[in-house]
Amino acid sequence: MGNNSPRVFLAIGVKNMEEHLKRQLANEYNFVGEAIYREAIVKKAMSCNPDIIIFRETINGSQDVLDIVYDLRLQLPDARIIFLASDRKPGDPLLAELVGSGVYDIMVGNSIRTPDLITLMREPNKFSDVAIYRQKLNRNRVRESMSEGAPVGEVVKQVKETVFVEGDAPILPPNCGKKEEEKTFVEEK
């Protein structure tokens, strides 16, 4: 195994699957760390700086899955997250949020086959592969919500400015120093 092998962090929580991946991929990947609880994933992954994080939804722990993914994307923006979801359907809010967060390597099902996971590790998904998990936005609804956003208050402030040019008299803004009644109007005939 060379030093240029991709670094993999495992947060699967299924020992026999993790060991099988390590045996099968020892010549292709460098397995740099593991977490068996949700609460440890971000901290341990950050210490390993992995290229790939394999994260199973049903791993033990109580921390919110989307919070973990958000922190991983924020702290390790170049790492690929391979998310092993439970049995979810297209349009599921969790899957939609994952895709919206740039997580495209998603496997869905209560029983995930290791050969399929190995294939996904070798061949990353593109947005088009997981677009079914994120419903197409209703553009009119988005435009409406954008126009209903927080009102922007208009701030009008009169600016008084005097510009001095060396050797000349000051150049004053128009009507500076004149009172309204001093204005001259010429009537057209």
Average pLDDT over residues 162-173: 58
pLDDT at res. 90: 87
Q: Evaluate whether residue 155 is within a structural domain.
A: no
Element (H, E) at 116: helix 114-122
Q: Evaluate whether residue 111 is within a structural domain.
A: yes
pLDDT at res. 189: 53
Q: What is the pLDDT of residues 111-137, one digit of tens each?
A: 889 999 999 999 999 999 999 998 766
Contact 94, 55 (CB under 8 A): no
- Counting residues of the chain whose pLDDT is more than 70, the rounded percentage is 70
Which single residue is written with the structure tokens 């088009």?
128
Q: Evaluate whether residue 99 is within a structural domain.
A: yes
pLDDT at res. 145: 57
Q: Evaluate whether residue 176 is within a structural domain.
A: no
Q: Evaluate whether residue 169 is within a structural domain.
A: no
Average pLDDT over residues 181-189: 51
pLDDT at res. 154: 62
Number of domains making up the chain: 1
Q: What is the pLDDT of residues 85-115, one digit of tens each?
A: 999 998 899 999 999 999 999 999 988 899 9
Confidence check: pLDDT of 83 > 90? yes
Q: Evaluate whether residue 188 is within a structural domain.
A: no
147: confidence class by pLDDT, cuts 50, 70, 90: low
pLDDT at res. 175: 58
Q: What is the CATH number of the domain that holds 89?
A: 3.40.50.2300
Q: Evaluate whether residue 164 is within a structural domain.
A: no
DSSP-assigned states of every residue in 40-105: HHHHHHHHH--SEEEEETT-B--S-HHHHHHHHHHH-TT-EEEEEE-S--TT-HHHHHHHHTT--E
Confidence check: pLDDT of 51 > 80? yes
Cα distances (angstroms) measured from residue 112 to each of 85, 115, 116, 119: 9, 9, 7, 12
Domain interval for residue 15: 7-136
Whether pTM > 0.75 for this model: the answer is: no
Q: Evaluate whether residue 60 is within a structural domain.
A: yes
